[in-house]
Structure 1
């Protein structure tokens, strides 16, 4: 593997502003803003809009669509059969 072609990986804090959650992980991203983490060290912080703490899929607040109702609505609106072809 060639040396000096990969960006440096460092510990970074990602902060989810919507949920008020933060997590420390490694990343190549960098930021001028810094935050003091629970271990007393200062790390670069990157603010994100959505993470697993606020995304509906991971939090269980995802809305389940009523597929049967949608099919019935489609059939009522457009008919339940396929139009007959040239007989």
Structure 2
């Protein structure tokens, strides 16, 4: 993902926030917090991960599928990679 260098810090910050949320879930489980409260935080984590994935997908499309300087073969390869990842993600 060399093309993400320009957005590297932004992505790292998102990952760190997600890690913090997951640590919060762990603490809640250790403290035996209520199911509804734990599920609410887990839903927030899921949303954050989905946002991260959307950011990386957008970058992939711009750099490996829609870039005008790419050959058709390179675009096809980029599209195939994206399709494979989405299929795995949506399972």
Fold match by TM threshold 0.5: no
Structure richer in strand, relative to its length: 1
Q: TM-score scaled by structure 1?
A: 0.23
Structure having the higher Rg: 1
Structure richer in helix, relative to its length: 2
